[in-house]
Amino acid sequence: MGSQLRRLFIVILVHCGPIDPHHLWEASRDNLCDDLHHHLINVLHIPEPTQDQVYDYGLYLIAQDLRRNGKHLQDFPHMPLLQGNWGL
């Protein structure tokens, strides 16, 4: 479900121009990233990912899709920026 919600989040960012994208991220990040803890363990082999790593990887996936739409996280006020190097 997280992957579908991330796609919807990107549509909202790109096409709806939310007033406070950071608040939208903060309010929905648990649901947007609900599938990523398992992915970090089983695919990226991070044995005990922190919640911050899960959120950061979620932002990485969102940033990738934003780039495909000609946008960047920096285009949206107060959105957090990536902390990790996820460019695998």
Predicted confidence band of residue 1 (pLDDT cuts 50, 70, 90): confident
Q: From CA 39, how far away is CA 79, in angstroms rounded? A: 23
Q: Can you tell me whether residue 54 is helix, strand or coil?
A: helix
- The pLDDT tens digits of the residues spanning 46-78 come to 999 999 999 999 999 999 999 999 999 999 989
Residue count (the chain): 88
Amino acid at 81: L
Summarised one tens digit per residue, pLDDT across range 2-55 is: 899 999 999 999 999 899 999 999 999 999 999 999 999 999 999 999 999 999
Q: Please choose, from the candidates 34, 42, 25, 3, the residue with its C-alpha nearest in 3D space to the C-alpha of residue 79.
A: 25
CA distance 52 to 66: 21
Radius of gyration of the chain (CA): 12
Q: How far is 16 from 8, CA to CA, in rounded Å?
A: 11
